[in-house]
Structure 1
């Protein structure tokens, strides 16, 4: 079996994890405080990491990141 990552959602070329953080901040109504660009580029890496780990409490925010894989060598049946 062979698996290849074909594509990943990436806001403006940023780390896709930042999209999760942005979704959390939008749902909390906090984006107006600093703006979208802050969460996509300037938000501290350690905080991004912590929010992604904590996102299991907000599963809907994880739906904003999409990964597309190519898989070969397995049966579709």
Structure 2
């Protein structure tokens, strides 16, 4: 018997930075999205992730130009 499809606790986003580079499939907790702010809370979470990565790598975080929900419309 096949396993039932499980609901994901994350939403995936592609991130486009001001220098034109792109990072795909960044995970954001689904529970922070929706409501009046829509996907905007994802930007803060992704920026926090970028800051942690920058701290570990010793390279500065890039400014985010836009975020795109995977399979969604441009924001």
Identify whether the pair has TM-score above 0.5, normalized to the shorter chain.
no
Structure with a larger share of its residues in strand = 2
Which of the pair has the greater relative contact order for Cα pairs under 8 Å at 6+ separation? 1
Structure with a larger share of its residues in helix = 1
Which entry has the higher C-alpha Rg, 1 or 2? 1
TM-score between both structures, scaled by the size of structure 2: 0.29
